[in-house]
């Protein structure tokens, strides 16, 4: 009996140790709303459970924290102008994900995205992250690595592109520009979408519209092959995601 009791305690210790190791290696995402309006973040996972059950609400000045396990990949975006009933059904003016609070799919373009691939936990492994305007823009968005090592550079779009969006890319609701389409979504042609004869980095070059996005937001993806100046890496970091970040 004593040996069985010791074995039971030993197994309990191993389980607690393993649980603690998982928690200590998890990546912490902090999402904060610095906008003057409500934002309903959406999340979509490429592997495993969605962060925050796929969607939640952030009032101006509020924040929320969620953990992701090693090897997680996915994206976050901000939805605006949303109305939901008590069952979580409704719609958003921008970034809608099928008329539900808790998204099971991606946000409808145009939408600003922050994308992550978290390291699998091996020594020296790197996280990859970026802010993308490839699907257009709806709200200013930035991501900052905290507590990591390596390059760990800031990525984001601080500028209000809605106020400077060309007429042919504008999405208007109730008389106001609420989002700015990508040129691909607006014109659906290979040179803007990097498809067909333009499906390689050598044949798909920046356009007048992607250059406009890049000039306004130098650390964000402006078109499909904008990797060199847009993808960020960091090791062992947590991440602060801010809607409507201030210029630092």
For residue 41, the domain's CATH number is 2.60.110.10
Residue 223 confidence (pLDDT): 86
Is residue 13 assigned to a domain? no
Consecutive 10-residue averages of pLDDT for the chain (248 residues): 44 39 73 98 90 96 96 96 96 97 96 94 81 96 95 94 96 96 94 92 91 93 83 96 86
Q: What is the predicted pLDDT for the residue at 1?
A: 44
184: domain range?
A: 28-243
Tell whether 6 is covered by a domain.
no
Does residue 50 belong to any structural domain of this protein? yes
pLDDT of 170 reads: 97
Q: What is the Cα–Cα distance from 122 to 92, expressed in whole angstroms?
A: 40
Distance CA 209, CA 197 (A): 19
- Position 19 in a domain: no
Q: Is residue 218 included in any domain, yes or no?
A: yes
pLDDT value at residue 225: 87
Q: What pLDDT is recorded for position 11?
A: 40
pLDDT of 49 reads: 78
| 4 inside domain | no
Show the DSSP H helices in the chain as ranges: 2-25, 183-187, 190-193, 208-216
Residue 21 lies in a domain: no
Q: How many domains does the chain have?
A: 1
Answer whether residue 14 is part of any domain: no
Q: Is 231 helix (H, G, I), strand (E, B) or coil?
A: coil
Query: How do 238-243 and 27-33 pair as beta strands?
Result: parallel
């Amino acid at each position: 009996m004593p040996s069985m009791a010791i074995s039971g305690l030993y197994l309990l210790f191993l389980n607690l140790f393993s649980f603690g190791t998982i928690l200590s290696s998890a990546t912490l995402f902090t999402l904060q709303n610095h906008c003057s309006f409500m934002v309903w973040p959406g999340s979509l996972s490429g592997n495993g459970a969605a962060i925050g059950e796929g969607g939640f609400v952030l009032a101006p000045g509020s924040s929320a924290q969620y953990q992701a396990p090693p090897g997680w990949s996915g994206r976050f975006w901000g939805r605006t102008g949303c109305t939901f009933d008590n069952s979580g059904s409704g719609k958003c003016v921008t970034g809608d994900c099928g008329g539900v609070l808790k998204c099971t799919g991606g946000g409808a373009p145009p939408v600003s995205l922050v994308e992550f691939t978290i390291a699998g936990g091996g020594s020296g492994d790197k996280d990859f992250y970026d802010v993308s305007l490839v699907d257009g823009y709806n709200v200013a968005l930035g991501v900052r690595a905290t507590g990591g090592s390596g390059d760990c550079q800031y990525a984001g779009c601080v500028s209000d592109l809605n106020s400077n969006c060309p007429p042919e890319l504008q999405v208007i609701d109730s008389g106001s520009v609420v989002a700015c389409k990508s040129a691909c979504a607006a014109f659906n042609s290979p040179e803007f979408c990097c498809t067909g004869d333009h499906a390689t980095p050598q044949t798909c070059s920046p356009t007048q519209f992607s250059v406009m996005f890049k000039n306004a937001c130098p650390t964000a993806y402006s078109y499909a092959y904008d990797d060199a100046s847009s993808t960020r890496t960091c090791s062992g970091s947590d991440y602060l995601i801010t809607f409507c970040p201030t210029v630092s």
